[in-house]
Structure 1
Amino acid sequence: MTTEKRREREVEEMKELILSAASDIIASEGFDKLSIRKIAKKIEYSPSIIYHYFDDKEEILNVVIQRGYKKIVSAVSSMKIEGSVPEEKLVQMTQNYIKVALSMPEEFMAAQLNQSKVALKHTSSLFKGASKEKPALSALYQCLKEMYKDKDVDENTIELTAQMIVVSTLGLIFKIIIEKDISDEQRDNLISFYSNEIVLRMANGNRLN
């Protein structure tokens, strides 16, 4: 391995160490409590070292949130559900979204409840036109559009439907995270009933008009 390659690897390893520490702090204390000093203390380096790898705390936050968001996007646009009929795809997308969120509960809650510009850049989804800018919402929008292909449903209605599904799904995720004593069986029952009954009813309402 050349000196240059070794240096590149060392830089990436240090960045990962910093980001991992930041994620841990966010998960346990929330976004607002994250600081360069806390990260430095956790990785046992001086704060000045961190500035060799990141410009500031905001850049670190941005990378951490981007990574979490990519997991969500990957879940709702998984190749495993390609080719399914729209209804099956919608159910699978919803379940994938919930399961990924529940796999990182503290990080997910911290991001969704944070009102900073950095967080909202990634988590906001209720503004008009969001389905064209947000990959996860766009995947849901396209699935609904496929469901309505034989009906005269306008784009605004499709986007609003997608946004309402996202909002209600967030509500279920939050409650499951907060009510920590829910059994695995009950959690699975809630997710199954919600995705197969509630979400499909919300989506199918526009096809009955």
Structure 2
Amino acid sequence: MSIAERKEREKAEMREDILNAAREIVSHSGIDGISIRKIAGMIDYSPAIIYHYFKNKEEIIGILMEEEYRRILAALSPLQTTGNSPEERLKESIKSFMMLAVEMGDAYKSIMLNSSPAVLARTSVLQQGAACERPAISMVCRVLRELPGWAGSTDAQVELTAQTIWSLAFGLALRSIVEQVNEEQRQRLMEHTTEFVLQALRNPAKQPKGGM
């Protein structure tokens, strides 16, 4: 290995050490607990060293948020599978998303309830036009249009419906974490919620039209 390659590897390892420290802080203190000084203390380096690898804590938070968003997209991957009906894909994705949230636990709460611009830049999904800006909402919108009777729905109606489904799954997952709901009850709630959503979607003519 050349000197240049070794330096690049050491740089990558140092960056990962810093990110690992930040991840640990999030797991114990939430996203607001991250600070350059805390990270430096955890890895026994000076804050100046951290700034050598990252511009500021916002850059570190941005990277962590991007990681979590990719996990969410992975949880929604059933939406893109072939061979299953649109209803089945939507049902499995809702369940997968909620299970991921519960698995993340307090870290999920910390991230998804955070209102800082750095976090909202990756977690906000309720703004008008989210279907174009957020892959997760876009994926839900695409599968909605595959459902019987939904092909001719307006963009506004589809987007608002996707945002409503997302919010329902988010709320249920969040309360499951807060209340520490046991596995059996959590499964019952997820099953009921997904069936409730699908029943509502089976008659698009009765859906609010959405938009002005």
Q: Verify the 8 A CA contact 2:87 2:147 in the aligned structure 1.
A: yes
Verify: 1:204 aligned to 2:195, yes or no: no
Q: How much has 1:111 moved relative to structure 2?
A: 1.2
> Structure 1 runs of 4+ off > 4 angstroms?
148-151
Q: How far does the alpha carbon of each residue in 1:99-156 deviate from its partner, in whole angstroms, 9 at most, with x for none?
A: 2222212221111111110011011111111011101111001010111456532111
Counterpart of 1:159? Answer: 159
Q: How far does the alpha carbon of each residue in 1:29-70 deviate from its partner, in whole angstroms, 9 at most, with x for none?
A: 122221100011111211111111100000000000110011
Counterpart of 1:17? Answer: 17
Distance 1:105 1:114, change over 3 A: same
TM norm structure 1 = 0.92
Q: How much has 1:24 moved relative to structure 2?
A: 1.4
Distance 1:151 1:53, change over 3 A: closer
TM norm structure 2 = 0.90
What amino acid sits opposite 1:49 in the alignment?
I
Verify: 1:183 aligned to 2:190, yes or no: no
Distance 1:100 1:150 in 2: 28
SS at match of 1:52: helix
Q: How much has 1:11 moved relative to structure 2?
A: 1.4
Q: Verify the 8 A CA contact 1:165 1:202 in the aligned structure 2.
A: no
Distance 1:141 1:15, change over 3 A: same
What amino acid sits opposite 2:145 in the alignment?
K
Distance 1:66 1:52 in 2: 21
Counterpart of 1:69? Answer: 69
Distance 2:203 2:52 in 1: 54
Moved more, 199-208 or 14-23: 199-208
Q: How much has 1:74 moved relative to structure 2?
A: 1.5
Distance 2:146 2:178 in 1: 34
Q: Verify the 8 A CA contact 1:75 1:97 in the aligned structure 2.
A: yes
Structure 2 matches for 1:76-91, cutoff 5 A?
Answer: 76-78=76-78, 81-91=81-91
Distance 1:4 1:66 in 2: 29
Report the number of matched residues: 207
What amino acid sits opposite 1:73 in the alignment?
L
Q: Verify the 8 A CA contact 1:151 1:207 in the aligned structure 2.
A: no
Structure 2 matches for 1:127-166, cutoff 5 A?
Answer: 127-148=127-148, 152-166=152-166
Distance 2:62 2:78 in 1: 24
SS at match of 2:55: coil
Distance 2:155 2:111 in 1: 28
Counterpart of 2:210? Answer: none
Counterpart of 1:192? Answer: 191
Counterpart of 1:119? Answer: 119
Q: How far does the alpha carbon of each residue in 1:67-102 deviate from its partner, in whole angstroms, 9 at most, with x for none?
A: 001100111124883331100010011111112222
Q: Verify the 8 A CA contact 1:77 1:136 in the aligned structure 2.
A: no
Q: Verify the 8 A CA contact 1:76 1:136 in the aligned structure 2.
A: yes
Moved more, 17-26 or 74-83: 74-83
Moved more, 4-13 or 15-24: 4-13
Distance 1:2 1:59 in 2: 30
Aligned sequence identity (%) = 38
Distance 1:79 1:130, change over 3 A: closer
